[in-house]
Structure 1
Amino acid sequence: MQGECLVMLRCSHILCKVDDIQTAVSDYTELGFTMTWGSRPGKAHNALLWFGSGPFVEFFELPSRAAALRWPVGLCFGAAAGRRIADWARPGEGWRDVALETDDLDLRAAHTELKALMPVSRVMKGRRTRPDGQVVRYQFLAPGPAELPFVVSSYDPPQRPLDIVHANGATGIAKVHMTVAPADRAAYDAMIAGDPWLLPVPGERTGVVGVELAGTTASLDPAKLHGAQLVGAS
């Protein structure tokens, strides 16, 4: 593989799977974070930890039986998408994925660029309804292998809240620590050129291993982090 994606991609957010989203939101609120529900509280399957700028964290709940969607999703959108769903659904809590974003609402240009470099799913369209009733639309695609970051469009309309204050002093994500397997390194480098947040090191498997916060040195109770390796700046 040679070359790199000419569409600018940067870290959008980090995904953490939890067993119970209600409990996770309660625990992170106790830790001093301001949490935002992805949809109506009580029925939401995801919640967002925003900062004033830079990447955010998405917590999501997904039953292990959803792994069976690997085959129909793979048939409809490509094997890379099917494998990713299965990985998201595997048992246990903790980091599951990294999303890269573009400034575009349409991913056709990113799809064309990435398809020339690696296997990639079809462009998929998503939507959700916020607690205030606003409908949010976006697109995403999944490169292969599934351990690589996936790509999302800009949200329509934009979703970052204007004023974000966390009681524990956190102001943003300083670094996303990742390991990258040797077999994935060329594809990883082709997707990501000089991202200021992602800090890759060689490892046996590609994936997130920890997230470092800026603005706080608060000690976060591991029992309330739901598998996320999340630490204040040292």
Structure 2
Amino acid sequence: MKLSHIIYKVKELHQGVEEFLAMGFDVEYGKEKNPYNAIIYFSEGPYLEILGSTGMPRTVKQILRIFGQGKFADRLDYWDNHPGGPCGLALENYKTNLDAELTILKKYNQSWFTMPSKRDDTKGRKLRFTCAFPNDIQLPFLMTYFNIDPKPKAFIHPNGAVNISSVSFGTKKEFIPLIKELCDDDRLKLFAGEGVGDIHYKYSGE
């Protein structure tokens, strides 16, 4: 697997988008009507998801808990209640399923919640993918890549940013071998700790 994206929480989505635009990034909302997130794509490598909220109603979270998926609901609550900044990390493969990756989670005695996901973006693309959310929030969540590639070709942001060159991620020491078995992306820098740390960008001319 490779790095998919970093979730960056903001208190209010539209204000957050304006702040990233002011920093010279090109930003598009996740969907046309009532968006809860926005995306900063790069031509290659991981992207940044600006998250105003998960868009998951409280009643749905309650239903998830009733049906034994409280850990997934906890992850959603963590994102919804985060004060701001990077708060989540996703890994992606380029298959139509996550069978191999779930086998690795099972090998390390980890449980998860799997769900199909979809999003119709602002350019009319019907994006479809599958996600798996480990019960332990100190593990990244997993996803198949979109059925349609939404990334721009040979694109450089107005501020000169070409891609995300590295991301540090803190986790339990015993999870580091698991994540390394899942992900061979040299952009990912693991350390014993908690949460997403530094995000570095590569700029044109570097």
Q: Shorter-chain TM-score category?
A: 0.7 to 0.9
Gaps in structure 2 of 5+ consecutive residues:
none
User: What TM-score, normalized to structure 2?
Assistant: 0.87
Secondary structure of the residue that 1:178 maps to in structure 2? strand
Q: Distance in 2 between matches of 1:63 and 1:123?
A: 16
Instruction: Report the alpha carbon displacement of residue 71 of structure 1 after superposing the two structures with TM.
Output: 4.4
The answer (yes or no) to whether the contact 1:177–1:211 under 8 Å persists in 2 is yes
The answer (yes or no) to whether the contact 2:113–2:134 under 8 Å persists in 1 is no
Percent identical among aligned pairs is 22
Gaps in structure 1 of 5+ consecutive residues:
1-8, 218-232
Instruction: Report the alpha carbon displacement of residue 82 of structure 1 after superposing the two structures with TM.
Output: 2.4
Deviations 1:90-124 (A, max 9, x none): 24111111100001122234323422323232320
The answer (yes or no) to whether the contact 2:104–2:182 under 8 Å persists in 1 is no
Q: Distance in 2 between matches of 1:65 and 1:10?
A: 26
Judging by fraction of residues, say which structure has more strand.
2
**Correspondence for 2:14:** 22
Question: Residues 44 and 66 of structure 1: is their aligned pair in 2 closer, same or farther, counting only changes over 3 Å?
Answer: same
Q: Establish whether residue 154 from structure 1 lines up as the match of residue 145 from structure 2.
A: yes
Q: State the superposition RMSD in angstroms.
A: 2.6
Q: Establish whether residue 112 from structure 1 lines up as the match of residue 122 from structure 2.
A: no
Name the amino acid aligned to 1:202: A
Instruction: Report the alpha carbon displacement of residue 147 of structure 1 after superposing the two structures with TM.
Output: 1.7
**Correspondence for 1:126:** 117
Question: Residues 154 and 63 of structure 1: is their aligned pair in 2 closer, same or farther, counting only changes over 3 Å?
Answer: closer
Q: Establish whether residue 135 from structure 1 lines up as the match of residue 126 from structure 2.
A: yes
Question: Residues 181 and 216 of structure 1: is their aligned pair in 2 closer, same or farther, counting only changes over 3 Å?
Answer: farther
Q: Distance in 2 between matches of 1:74 and 1:137?
A: 25
Matches within 5 A, 1:1-234: 9-40=1-32, 43-62=34-53, 69-76=60-67, 78-192=69-183, 194-203=184-193, 205=194, 207-215=195-203
Aligned residues: 206
